[in-house]
Chains A and B, each alone.
Chain A
Amino acid sequence: MKIPLLLLQAGIAVLAAPLVSGFVRRVKNALRMRQGAALVQPYRNIAKYMRKEEVVSETASWIFRWTPSVVLGSTLAALMFVPVFSFSLSAAGMGDVLSLFFLFSLGRFFLALAGLDAGSAFGGMGSSREMFIASFVEPAAVLAVAVVAAHSSSSAAEPLVRSMGMSFSGMIAAASLFMVVLAETSRIPVDNQETHLELTMIHEAMLLEYSGPSLAMLETAAHAKQLIWFSLLGAILWPWPIGSSSGLSAVACAAFFVLKIILCAIVVGLTEIGLAKMRLFRVTDFLGLAFLFSVLALVVSGLGY
């Protein structure tokens, strides 16, 4: 019974993920007094890519062709590990939150290789930048989650948040994780989703050689990854119970989850409006701050708060 429900939950989450991106764009455009694209624009983009013909460079190897499947597959697997609608429905028995980061790293590794594989100058640049940023993001993210886990003395996703409640160290860890989310979803202080200017883009530079259904898969994976990060952030920031233990019905859990994601999306949109994109070498300061908050959370957690 559990496995079909798990798959159903992951399926719904993947289908709803582009909606989150669309919503963040709506928030930003509303703040800029612009009309903006419709909420369902990400779906239209994906549908358009699916119809287009795919062009593969002659020099590209199997890595280029397999990468979209690996990235989408690892992201979908990661989706099983986070508490989306309900904690009792996360695949807690199969691994803990750290395996989530390993799955992300797998996708990132293949994407970076694929960026280099097609042999275009921008792809390689994007790969090197992505790895540069990842080397700052990963320690901060792992440490932040480890602090929250240490506070509840377990690293499995299920008891991770249930036993925590609001704590000072949890809040500081959430601040760190928020900065990580901005970097990981290629949002403004680090990257900019709205522009394809070759000299500044990071994530998009790696995808530059992709077209057609492959691009659709990679975009879907990016949307799903964003949803995963938002739900992780939401679970740590507002650790109020979702799941069978609290006696709430499944509908109430889902409604609560949607509320959390909307709040996260609004905060991310506001942050993006309020900041300017940083120079690449200033990003070390930004992500250094994130890592430092993780260490701070560790210190505070060590004192028992």
Chain B
Amino acid sequence: MTLFLLTGIMILTYAMLVCHRIPALIQNFRLQSLFLFLVTLDFAVRQKEAGVFVVAGLLLLVKVILIPSFLNHLVKKIRVDERLGLFLNPLLSLIAALFLTWGAAVFCAWLVSDSPAVVFAAFVVSITVVLVGFFIMVFRMKALTQIVGLLVMENGIFLLASSIAGGMPFFVEIVIAFDVFVCAIITGIFMYRINKVFTHIEVHRLTDLKG
């Protein structure tokens, strides 16, 4: 079952690279967070710890409901062009991501050799999610997608912590959840301002001189 959910996260992570429009990317992030919530719930049920349930609930609230809704609201409000500003087309991005996953898989096979498939899969998927989040931040040219990239990276780190290390301490998790939420809101407001001043949110054009 866990393997099934992990494969789902992997698929959604790759699907993010095929997205052409911002709302599709946000929807994809919402689904990925939902799968992450299910993985955490599965973990909580097996561990039977109240703290993990609270962390899972917090994940559902913040990353599945609040942040994507806020981002969607932001997209509507700044009325920006919906296209992502792709630096690499989807197929090339996918091939690049394949190499990232390959590297992650070789690394993990070396690190956790002879462990069960679930541990290996969790390791590979979480490292892939982190790397793909990084990839989105670098190769997608809208400031909004960089927030999504950051959030995806955070999802990967959360998965890594909860599946490998048995979760971070309870208070750390809560603080991180609020941190991420506040971070998303602040960067969102920041972007609203950027859009007002520059009339676009394309990162590579921010250094242009304004007359």
* A interface with B by C-beta (< 8 Å): 166-168, 171-172, 174-175, 282, 284-286, 288-289, 292-293, 295-296, 299-300, 303-305
Contacts and interface: CB of A to CB of B under 8 A. Distances in A.
B105 A299 contact: yes
5 contacts: A168-B117, A175-B11, A288-B94, A296-B101, A300-B105
A66 to B, nearest CB: 38
A303 B102 CA distance: 10
Nearest to A300: B105
A289 B17 CA distance: 10
B14 A293 contact: yes
Interface in B45-75: none
Interface residues of B, number: 24
A59 to B, nearest CB: 40
A171 B3 contact: yes
B78 interface: no
A49 to B, nearest CB: 39
A289 B105 contact: no
* Interface SS, A side: helix
Contacts, number: 55
A168 B7 contact: yes
B10 interface: yes
A175 B109 CA distance: 22
Nearest to B14: A289
Contacts of B102: 299
B90 interface: yes
A305 B106 contact: no
A167 B117 contact: yes
B91 A288 contact: yes
A172 B7 contact: yes
B90 A303 contact: no
B105 A293 contact: no
Nearest to B128: A296
Given A284-B91, A295-B98, A172 B18 contact: no
Interface in B1-44: 3-4, 6-7, 10-11, 14-15, 18, 20
B105 A303 contact: yes
B160 interface: no
B120 A168 contact: yes
Interface string B91-121: 1001100100110011001000000010011
B91 A303 contact: no
Contacts of B106: 303
